Each structure stands twice: as structure tokens, then as C-alpha cells.
Structure 1
Amino acid sequence: MLTHRIALIPGDGIGTEVTPAACRVLDTVGRRHGVTFVYDEFDWSCRRYAELGAMMPENGLDRIRHHDAIFLGAVGAPAVPDHVSLWGLLIPIRRNFRQYVNLRPVKVFEGVESPVRRARAGEVDLVVVRENVEGEYSEIGGRLGRGFPDEMAVQEAVFTRAGTTRVAEYAFRLARRRRNRLTSATKSNGIVHTMPFWDEIVAGTAGAYPEVAWDSEHIDALCAKVVLDPARFDVLVASNLFGDILSDLTAAVAGGIGIAPAANLNPEREFPSMFEPVHGSAPDIAGRGIANPLGAIWTAALLLDHLGHGDAAAEVEAAIAGVLAETPLRTPDLGGTATTEAFTRAVLDFTTA
């Protein structure tokens, strides 16, 4: 029996409700595939910040550095500004563990109606590859003259050749394993330094992958085309900001962020990768037992795949698809009345069917 040690950070809001659902699925599927999961749970959250003044302890990264993977439920609370909660927990983990690929698969499942007319089940199946540690979300900048009429704020975007090249190479390799189609998001007609640099590196990388058909689209036009014809896309590669926007847009096209998974990957496996559903802490429904667990459960499938258990991951995805296609169960975000527990049990039933 193979054992994986997982750092579990349920976090805030519905994170504490969907994380146990993901663990139940991992444990159930793992047993059939000869895999055991050991969870070390950490209370790092906005609640901890309110009590102790920090999202995690000073030695937090050292405490999870040697785990096989990290599972994060959600981060955020109304009383704590987002820049405090994110930069106190999520961002340090991503950057210190060089999780430079943010991977967000998107599918339209049978049984989930997309708000987009041309987004049909079985046709929309794409992946957003977002550069995750530099770009527009750098820490370089500041504010000058606070409170005066001429106050100013400066935020620097940082694109390195190494950082752009490695995410482009990952995206091309992924496209080669999928349908050999890649689209790069840019805005080189308006952002005159970083985006032409991005374009040059993507074009140079493409030469090593002649079998992958690729093109480049300005981000504004690309967003429109994703809505108008989402089935045409396979792999979308984008900078930190553009990838962030595309991730939520494509999740909405698929029917909602409640079912959307995400992985923060260190492809070289020098550090643990982190897995998190996209939906956030949703404080408006926290504690009511109605959170959609599918985002966390699909995220668990990404974790399985990353740890080398592709068959088990496929089994979890098939169970998600089965529940949506063959049962009327839906949580409120999908137009139903099912509870988190009922939906989780349904997925577990399909994994053992």
C-alpha cells in the first residue's frame, strides 16, 4: 500500500465544508487503487489572522515543505482584506514552492446547462495554463504622497525569460498530449514591452513543437471568442493576470465556478504542488451545508493525477460526470436543492458502482 502525506488547509468559509468531501473521495478511490492518504491539518485562515495577526506561522512553509501535496479549501473573509489573506498564505506558498503553473481544466458536463448557447456537453473541453508567480502580479511598486491630491501608485509587471519560457514549454507539452492546439493570450498592440516579449518567447518555443498548431489572440478579442465559440479551444496559455481572467470566464462558460478545479504545479517536483477549488470561501453560504463539493472533488482528481494515479483520477472524473448526467441532484448554485453531504454521497456511490 502506497502512502501519500497531504498538508490539508481547509481555510475559510465553505473551504471547511468541501475539504472533507474531497478527502472522503480520495480515501474511497485510493483504497481501490492501493493508495493511502495521511492528512496533516493546519488551521491557517482568516480566523487565525483575527486571533494571532498572521494567516500562518513564521515557519509555516517549512512545516509543509516535505509533504507530497497541499490541499487548500478556500481563503477569505469579509473582515480581512483580500490582499492580506492572499499575500499572507496563498501567494507565499505559490512563490516559495515555485508553483509556476496554474492549471485550470474546463468542461461542459452533460446535465449542466451553460449560460452560453454554443457551449455544449462533450464539445467544450479546454485547459487554461496560467503563469502563476510573476507577470502583472509582482511585488514591485509602491505608493507615493499618500493622502495628497497628487498621490500616485506604481505597480510593475515583471516578465522574465526563464519564467515565460517554462510556462510556454509546459503549455506546448500539454497541448501535444491533448489535441495539438494552443492559443496564446497577449495584448501586444497596447502593452508595448512585456507583451511583445511574451509573444517572442511563445513563438520561439513553438518551433520545438511542430505538431502543435498554435495562434496568438489579443486578450479582449480572445474573451469574446471564448464566449462565442468555446469548443474551438484546447490549451490557452496566458500571463498571470490574463490567465486569472480567462480561468473565471471559462468556468462561467462551463456553468459556474462551483465545479471548477485548480492546481498550482511545480512541474519539476522540487517542492510540493498545491490543489484548490476555484470557488473561494463564499461567506454568504458558509455554514449552511449547501456548498457545491464538485470543485473540491475534481481538484482531488487533479491531485491524484499529479501523484501518478491517473486511473484513479479518471475514476473520480467519471463519477462527477455520472452524477451530473444520470441523477437530478444539484446544489443551489446549479439550480437545485441538494446539500453538500447528499452530493458527496452521490459521487461516492458512483465511484463504487
Structure 2
Amino acid sequence: MSPVAFVASLHFSRLAASGLRGCTAGQALRSVACRRGAPRSPLEASPPLARASTTMATTPPSSSPPSSSPPTKPPRPTAACIIIGDEVLTGKVHDTNSHALAKSLFAAGVSLTHIEVIPDVPATITAAVRRLSASHNHVFTSGGIGPTHDDVTYEAVADAFGLTTRPNEAVLARMVELQPDVDWTVPARRRMAQLPHPATLHWTEGLWVPTTVVGGNVFVLPGIPSLFSRMLDGVVGGLGGAGALERRVIYTRRGEGSIAGHLSAVADAFPAVGIGSYPRVDGVTGGWRVRVTVEAENAGVADEVAARVVEATGGELGALEPAGGAEAAPAAAATALADSQVEAEAK
């Protein structure tokens, strides 16, 4: 064995003994990233010693019998959202894209773990993209790809990966094809085809603007909500999600303070299940007062936990967004309460 291979093998062995058995030799040398399970940046060069791992692969496998424990379900892919725009931060525009993204990713089985709203500042965008693309499987940006001076997202995303931008002939051709009456010789309009290079483009029927994927995991989308949602539908299905969590919704007429202890007890008994409590704040007197959600990987577990919540809160199962609005929750939960009953519950 060469001296380099010996050093890599020894270093890997020591790290493995400290709890990094799930990593390769190359990953072990990046022990901090390995511990948190973060994917390696697409631009991160492999350290020289990582190449010595090919020597270690010739070692005969262990003769010890395989573990009899059940296989662990792989973790769900993670995603981050970057909303870009001074108009959001100054209150001129209400952000709905992060909400649309959250719903789509939940249905696809991808965990949205981070939402960030930042200004139209190139350095800020570059830093956010670089940081989040290294710590998440997927990153979605919204906004900043129009024709005006403050649309700087393409350039900033390119900078995050050490890339440049250039006119994309496919986008220019599609512009002319789909909108032949527009003067596409105007520099500001052609600027919208100035994309990071290289990049992967995903097309949406009837639109010339593509979903641009940079660095392998950063999806650049427009800020216009109708376009964002329409284009998102075409890419979420291919993210390798694990399928939506099993969700159950319970409506109760009891106040949140009176059910908090019961919910804590159920949550303690099922630490892997997500239990959320959302009080009604629309000022309506009577009807349901708290909506409780249960989210689990397994349908049987979701049903069991939901049954416990129903028993503990005196609630009923219903839909997350009942047709007909808030009053269309289950009949018992939506039955109006007398003022005296509401006052008694508040006490």
C-alpha cells in the first residue's frame, strides 16, 4: 500500500470509529458535511486523499453476518426556497410563491426546510444560493429574471457556481416562435435570454421562459405567481420525492390552552409524527376553535395518532381545506356554541 493510501485508510478508520461508518473514505475526510448529511456542492473538488479510496475497495468484505434489524427508510429529499425582490421586503407585493412551493413539495414527498426572502442585491443572492445549494438537495429561487435593471438573479446564480452568462439561442428562438409580433431585437427583452452557462432547461408548454437549473440543484423561476406555479408543476414530479406524508386533520370545539397538555402527551408517545395545532382567529363565535394536523410516514400510524387526538380533544376528522370555507368543517365541530359555553371554555 502506498504512503498516501495508508494515511487515507488510517484517517478513515479513525473517523469510522467516531460514528461515520455510513461514509466513504472521501466523505469521511469531509467529516463536518458528512455528519449533517449535507450533499456536496457540485463545484467542490474531491480532496487528493479521496482518490486513495480505490485502494481500500480491494479489501475483502467482512465475514460477519448481516444485521437482522429492519432497513431504515431513506430520508426525504430537502429543499430551500429563496424569494428575491425588494417589492416583497417593502410590502408592495404579497409573496404567494413560497406557499405554492410548500404545497407542491409536500405532495411530492420533498421536505421544504427553509424559506428566505432577500433583496435584489447580487452579492446577497449569490451568497444565499451558494450556502443553500450546499446544504439542501434542491433550491428554488423566485423573481429577478425580467428585463429591468433590478433583475439580477441569473447573473448572481451564475456567480454562485463560478459561471458566466451568455445568450441562449433556444430561448431566443422560442421567444420569436411563441410571440412573433413582439420586437425581440430590443436589448432589454433579449436580456431575458441571457442565462447561466452551462444550465439545464425545462420547458413549459406555451411559455418561452424556461425553468433554468444551475449547478444541478438550483431551479430558477420567475416571480409572477401564475408563471411560477405553472412552471413548478413541470419539475416537482422529477425531484425523487418519497411521496406525500399521510396527513389527518382534526377539528375541535375546545380551546387550544385546554388541549395543549393532551397534545403534548400524544406527541411524546409518537416522536416521529408531526402534530400541529392551529387556533381559529377569524373572530367567529361558535363552531370549531382549533384545527389539529397529524403527519406521519405510515397510514396506520397516522390513523392511530389521529384517533388519540380525537379522543383527547373531543374533535372530529375533517379536510384540511373544507369545500365551502371554514364553516364546512365536520358537522359536530361546526355546530354553533352558545355564548355561555364559549365563555365557560375560555375560563
TM-score bracket for the superposition, by shorter chain length: 0.3 to 0.5
Please say which structure displays the higher CA radius of gyration. 2
TM-score normalised to the size of structure 2? 0.32
Relative contact order (alpha carbons < 8 A, sep ≥ 6): 1 or 2 greater?
A: 1
TM-score by length of 1: 0.32
